[in-house]
Amino acid sequence: MCAASSAGAQSFAYSGNATLGVRVVIANLCSAGSAGAGSTAIAFGKLDFGTHASLSSALSGRGGAGQAGIRVQCAVGVPYRVVLGAGDNDAGPQRRLKGPSGAFVRYGLYSDASLSRPWTEAAPVARAGTGAEEVIPVYAAIEPQATPAAGVYRDTVKVTIQW
């Protein structure tokens, strides 16, 4: 049976000190993209030129936040490169969207809004990590060309993050 002390406070006859180790490791790592619900595949979205009746005039598009922007998060100071590789329908250096009956629409991907720097394996975008997620926009253009048969034209481009 325990009896309460009449003084109301307990005193301890012994005490000791020890240490508690706490640590975090910030690695020179990067992460990229996001997997869709129920998927483990990383995707960067879609760049859509919209619907047009003719390709007699140039078309341009931009992928950014919420679209076809490339999401990368690297530790502060970690140098990284974003490489846009070949598409499924490339013919040599020419990017192509494939449509019905094997018809193609030529297009280009660029790292700048003025469409002066083609984004390719040989010309990647190089940056250094900030520690925060960065959305790197992808710019695209379709030059005037003969209009092929009506239909949906698509391509899939390989994106590689190197650090």
Write down all domains in the chain, each with its CATH number in brackets: 30-35+42-147+158-162 (2.60.40)
Query: By three-state DSSP, how is residue 94 classified?
Result: strand
pLDDT at 56: 96
pLDDT at 77: 94
Measured distance CA(131)–CA(73) in Å, rounded: 6
Render each residue's pLDDT in the chain as its tens digit; 163 residues.
555 555 566 777 777 788 787 877 777 788 887 655 555 556 677 788 999 999 999 999 876 555 568 889 999 999 999 999 999 999 988 999 999 989 999 999 999 999 999 999 999 999 999 999 998 999 999 999 999 999 999 999 999 999 9
pLDDT at 12: 73
Measured distance CA(145)–CA(46) in Å, rounded: 23
pLDDT at 68: 61
Give 116's contacts (C-beta < 8 A, 6+ positions apart): 110
pTM value surpassing 0.75: yes
Beta bridge partners of residue 104, listed in sequence order: 98
Measured distance CA(69)–CA(139) in Å, rounded: 9
Query: By three-state DSSP, how is residue 101 classified?
Result: helix
Cβ contact 119:59 at 8 Å: no
State the first-to-last Cα distance of the chain, in angstroms, to the nearest integer: 67
**Of 74, 91, 66, which Cα lies nearest the Cα of 127?**
74
Query: By three-state DSSP, how is residue 102 classified?
Result: helix
- Burial (Cβ within 10 Å: 0-12, 13-18, ≥19) of residue 72: buried
